[in-house]
């Protein structure tokens, strides 16, 4: 009996006897894939029973990481690429994902067997980029094939240490009729590449597109399949690229790597604080804070501008920090210091295009707002470290020693912190117990 062909939506499992461009159930586009017909059999298939074991019987050995000798890349991936890991690198179009991976591939190829599969660009285009960024290496092997069966078969036969696929959305399986980049294709590609990495101890690195919401295009399960997810982000002010780790089974998350985009590719920025503070000048509404990302403290400038509102509803324009958090600090200042910030337009930003989430920035936010409100500068080269609670008391922060050590290295002259902060300070310190006390820094009228 001839089997009927069915098409199934990979998003909601809705089935149809013909291919549809849009699923009538979940309204997802290009989500239908053909189900392979199965022969009906009256005999029940019996699978063999599994043999279970204890972890004490498993022999384990310490695997040596694959180091690219690029300090920013190696830091973010956890000290080097773990053999057999599955990594995805994503970011906005044109941000530099292909450039970064081509540079890393050329460095790795000096000591490792690396295959680079370009599914988006021809080999002529890849060569032009490699010549421009000086990433030509005779040991680095390329292909512009996008068929995943061929890629996996080549990797299983040749046994490279690392394969790079740019990008996974443009790869396809020849045995299915689904369009590349659809949910079904991505799920299948992610699963097959994961098995390739684990069963053959091959590190697999793929690039992925992101949606306009800033998340990886395709199902969320793709992030669950991989061992590590890295985002390459840009900054509007400088040609700076930030490589951020948001998932890493073999290293710490929230680790950052900094690169500077130049004509010869992405150059690592080893001393990011010097780079961030090169144009810093003391001015009303400006204060420095220290913020830990991953394993490193970053010295960041906060900027505030407050002006009397000319409209019925004051404006609030805030970037780089949670909007509600700044409003909370402004409410505390108005409650205890009687400064009418509710009648002022407030513009607030974190310099450098970074985002802060730690409560250790509370005192810095409060001082920046007051400095702009009174139009008076804070002490030159001062750094604020402190948490402000709802009662107006200033509390000590965690890991103060790390912040203070970095401040000392960059010649910070004055540390503004909580009264009972237990930390060794080499320079001048201004300590505060309550929000009232910070008024002594200003000649309030």
CATH code where residue 337 lies: 3.30.230.10
The dihedral over CA atoms of 141, 146, 150, 155, expressed in degrees to the nearest 10, equals 40
pLDDT reported for residue 304 = 95
pLDDT reported for residue 445 = 41
Paired tokens of 348? 């607030």
With CA atoms as reference, report the closest residue to 327 among 338, 315, 337. Answer: 315
Mark whether 239 and 365 lie in a shared domain. Answer: no
Number of domains present in the structure of the chain: 3
pLDDT reported for residue 204 = 95
pLDDT reported for residue 276 = 73
Mark whether 253 and 286 lie in a shared domain. Answer: no
pTM higher than the cut 0.85: no
Residues 85-95, mean pLDDT to the nearest whole number: 89
Band (66; pLDDT cuts 50, 70, 90): very high
Paired tokens of 56? 């004490």
Mark whether 220 and 123 lie in a shared domain. Answer: yes
Contacts by 274-279, CB closer than 8 A, 24 or more apart? 274/410, 275/240, 276/300, 276/301, 276/351, 276/352, 277/301, 277/410
* Cα 18 from Cα 203, distance rounded (Å): 39
Does residue 383 carry a pLDDT above 80?
yes
Domain boundary (218, 252, 270) is at: 270
* Cα 272 from Cα 268, distance rounded (Å): 9
Domain CATH for 244: 3.40.50.300
Mean pLDDT of the chain: 85
Mark whether 148 and 261 lie in a shared domain. Answer: yes
Digit-coded pLDDT (tens) for 405-418? 888 888 888 899 99
Mark whether 241 and 161 lie in a shared domain. Answer: yes
* 58 falls within a domain: no
* 219 falls within a domain: yes
Q: Which phi and psi angles does 67 have, rounded to 5°? A: -95, 135
Helices (H), 251-361: 272-276, 323-337
Does residue 209 carry a pLDDT above 60?
yes
Paired tokens of 326? 């700044």
Q: Which phi and psi angles does 324 have, rounded to 5°? A: -65, -30
- CB–CB of 197/204 below 8 Å? yes
Does residue 217 carry a pLDDT above 60?
no
pLDDT: which is higher, 91 or 83: 83
pLDDT reported for residue 260 = 87
Digit-coded pLDDT (tens) for 146-170? 899 999 999 999 999 999 999 888 8
Digit-coded pLDDT (tens) for 271-300? 888 777 777 888 999 999 988 877 788 888
DSSP bridge partners of 234? 241
CA angle 149/155/157 to nearest 5° reads 100
Q: Are strands 114-118 and 86-91 parallel, antiparallel or unpaired?
A: unpaired
Percentage of the chain surpassing pLDDT 90?
41
Mark whether 288 and 422 lie in a shared domain. Answer: yes
Does residue 2 carry a pLDDT above 80?
no
Mark whether 76 and 222 lie in a shared domain. Answer: yes
Q: Which phi and psi angles does 123 have, rounded to 5°? A: -65, -30
Does residue 434 carry a pLDDT above 70?
yes
* Cα 298 from Cα 403, distance rounded (Å): 8
* 52 falls within a domain: no
Tell me the C-alpha to C-alpha distance, in Å, between residue 308 and each of 101, 241, 339, 373.
49, 36, 12, 9
pLDDT reported for residue 254 = 75
Residues 126-143, mean pLDDT to the nearest whole number: 91
Band (237; pLDDT cuts 50, 70, 90): low
Mark whether 113 and 258 lie in a shared domain. Answer: yes
Mark whether 71 and 197 lie in a shared domain. Answer: yes
Mark whether 19 and 153 lie in a shared domain. Answer: no
Domain boundary (270, 290, 306) is at: 270
Domain boundary (270, 299, 331) is at: 270
* Cα 411 from Cα 240, distance rounded (Å): 24
H or E stretch including 131? helix 123-132
Band (381; pLDDT cuts 50, 70, 90): confident
Band (1; pLDDT cuts 50, 70, 90): very low
Band (67; pLDDT cuts 50, 70, 90): very high
* 180 falls within a domain: yes
* 380 falls within a domain: yes
Residues 170-185, mean pLDDT to the nearest whole number: 74
Mark whether 179 and 283 lie in a shared domain. Answer: no
Domain range for residue 17? 1-36
Residues 6+ apart with CB under 8 A from 81: 65, 66, 67, 68, 87, 108, 162, 203, 205
CA–chain centroid gap for 263, Å, is 24
- CB–CB of 248/78 below 8 Å? yes
Mark whether 233 and 329 lie in a shared domain. Answer: no
* 391 falls within a domain: yes
* 230 falls within a domain: yes
* 48 falls within a domain: no
Residues 6+ apart with CB under 8 A from 402: 292, 297
Does residue 22 carry a pLDDT above 80?
yes
Band (356; pLDDT cuts 50, 70, 90): confident
Residues 222-240, mean pLDDT to the nearest whole number: 79
Paired tokens of 280? 């810093």
């Amino acid at each position: 009996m001839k089997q009927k062909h069915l098409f199934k939506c990979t998003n909601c499992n809705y089935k149809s006897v013909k291919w549809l461009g849009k699923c009538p159930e979940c309204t997802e586009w290009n989500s239908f894939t053909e189900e392979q017909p199965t022969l009906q059999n009256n005999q029940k298939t019996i699978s063999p029973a599994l043999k279970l074991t204890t972890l004490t019987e498993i022999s384990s050995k310490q695997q040596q990481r694959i180091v690219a000798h690029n300090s920013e890349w190696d830091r973010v991936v956890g000290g080097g690429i773990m053999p057999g890991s599955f990594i995805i690198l994503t970011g906005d179009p044109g941000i530099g994902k292909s450039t970064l991976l081509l540079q890393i591939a050329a460095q790795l190829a000096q000591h490792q067997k690396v295959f680079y599969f370009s599914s988006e660009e021809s080999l002529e285009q890849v060569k032009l980029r490699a010549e421009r960024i000086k990433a030509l290496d005779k040991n680095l092997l390329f292909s512009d094939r996008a068929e995943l069966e061929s890629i996996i078969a080549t990797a299983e036969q040749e046994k490279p240490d690392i394969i790079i696929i740019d990008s996974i959305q443009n790869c396809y399986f020849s045995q299915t009729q689904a369009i590349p980049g659809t949910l079904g294709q991505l799920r299948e590609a992610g699963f097959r590449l994961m098995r390739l990495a684990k069963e053959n101890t091959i590190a697999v690195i793929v690039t992925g597109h992101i949606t306009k919401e800033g998340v990886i295009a395709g199902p969320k399960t793709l992030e669950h399949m991989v061992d590590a997810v890295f985002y390459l982000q840009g900054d509007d002010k400088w040609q700076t690229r930030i490589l951020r780790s948001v998932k890493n089974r073999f290293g710490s998350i929230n680790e950052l790597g900094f690169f500077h985009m130049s004509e010869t590719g992405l150059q690592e920025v080893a001393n990011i604080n010097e780079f961030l503070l090169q144009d810093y000048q003391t001015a009303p509404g400006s204060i420095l804070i220290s913020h830990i990302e991953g394993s490193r403290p970053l010295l960041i400038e906060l900027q505030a501008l407050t002006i009397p509102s000319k409209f019925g509803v004051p404006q609030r324009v805030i970037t780089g920090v949670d909007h509600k958090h700044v409003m909370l600090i402004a409410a505390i200042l108005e409650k205890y210091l009687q400064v009418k910030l509710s009648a002022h337009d407030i513009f607030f930003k974190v310099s450098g295009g970074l985002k802060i989430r730690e409560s250790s920035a509370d005192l810095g936010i409060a001082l920046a707002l007051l400095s702009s409100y009174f139009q008076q500068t804070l002490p030159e080269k001062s750094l604020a470290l402190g948490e402000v609670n709802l009662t107006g008391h200033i509390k000590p922060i965690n890991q103060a020693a790390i912040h203070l050590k970095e401040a000392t290295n960059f010649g910070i002259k004055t540390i503004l912190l909580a009264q009972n902060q237990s930390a060794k300070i080499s320079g001048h310190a201004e300590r505060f117990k309550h929000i009232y006390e910070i008024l002594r820094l200003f000649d309030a009228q």
